């Protein structure tokens, strides 16, 4: 099992920490991981993305040009990364951050309204955890308990009181993700 993921959006959306949390969760599950961040000089409000690789085998390189999964949180990221998803792969997009739906028919496409849901939860900081929940629903490559352990590694100790809220957000993401298009090339849970 190898899952190659690109997560992209604006700085401040938790893009980089999503990749870190997934990778730490993979470590807790005794998997090999690679996390490579990329962000513009302006950071918050600028573009940010990270590559996360989770595998049960050694990872030869963190540098990728195509991905099994793309998680895009805004329109510039959709424009840049939609075509990098491997045929039969998965694209998850945040509905409120994009102005157009993905156009490809050879990939699995899911929409998630994470920002809207985070407002309902009265804490927009859990936005990225809702996204992680949606991803884990579609690609259960890491057990939830290990993702929570990964979250504890990424989140500073002073915020550990928010771990139950973050777990609730992950579960909410699992509930609200909406498959929009299923490609017949490869099973979405493979």
We report the CATH number of the domain holding residue 76 as 3.40.920.10
In a domain, 190, yes or no: no
In a domain, 143, yes or no: yes
* Residue ranges making up the domain that contains 107: 2-181
The predicted pLDDT at position 84 comes to 96
In a domain, 186, yes or no: no
Round to whole Å and give the CA distance between 92 and 70: 6
In a domain, 158, yes or no: yes
Q: Which value, to the nearest 10 degrees, does the dihedral of the CA atoms of residues 110, 146, 189, 175 take?
A: -40
The confidence band for 187, taking pLDDT boundaries of 50, 70 and 90, is very low
Tokens describing residue 45 = 């409000």
Tokens describing residue 40 = 């513009």
In a domain, 51, yes or no: yes
- Looking at the predicted structure, is the pLDDT value of residue 147 above 90? yes
In a domain, 135, yes or no: yes
- What is the number of domains present in the chain? 1
Mean pLDDT, rounded, for 10-27: 90
The predicted pLDDT at position 60 comes to 87
Which residue has tokens 């190659």?
A: 4
- Looking at the predicted structure, is the pLDDT value of residue 189 above 50? no
In a domain, 68, yes or no: yes
Round to whole Å and give the CA distance between 11 and 9: 7
């Amino acid at each position: 099992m190898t899952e190659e993921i690109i997560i992209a959006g604006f700085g401040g959306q938790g893009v980089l920490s999503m990749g870190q949390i997934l990778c730490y969760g993979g470590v807790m599950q005794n998997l090999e991981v690679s996390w490579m961040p990329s962000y513009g000089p302006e950071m918050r409000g600028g573009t940010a993305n990270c590559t996360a690789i989770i595998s049960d085998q050694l990872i030869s390189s963190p540098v990728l040009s195509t991905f099994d999964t793309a998680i895009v949180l805004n329109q510039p990221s959709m424009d840049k990364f939609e075509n990098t998803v491997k045929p039969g792969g998965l694209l998850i997009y945040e509905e409120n951050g994009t102005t157009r739906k993905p156009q490809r028919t050879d990939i699995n496409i899911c929409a998630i309204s994470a920002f809207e849901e985070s407002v309902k939860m009265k804490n927009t900081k859990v936005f990225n955890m809702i996204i992680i929940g949606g991803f884990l629903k579609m690609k259960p490559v890491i057990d939830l308990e290990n993702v929570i352990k990964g979250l504890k590694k990424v989140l500073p100790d002073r915020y550990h009181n928010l771990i139950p809220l973050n777990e609730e957000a992950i579960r909410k993401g699992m509930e609200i993700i909406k498959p929009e298009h299923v490609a017949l090339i490869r099973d979405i849970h493979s």
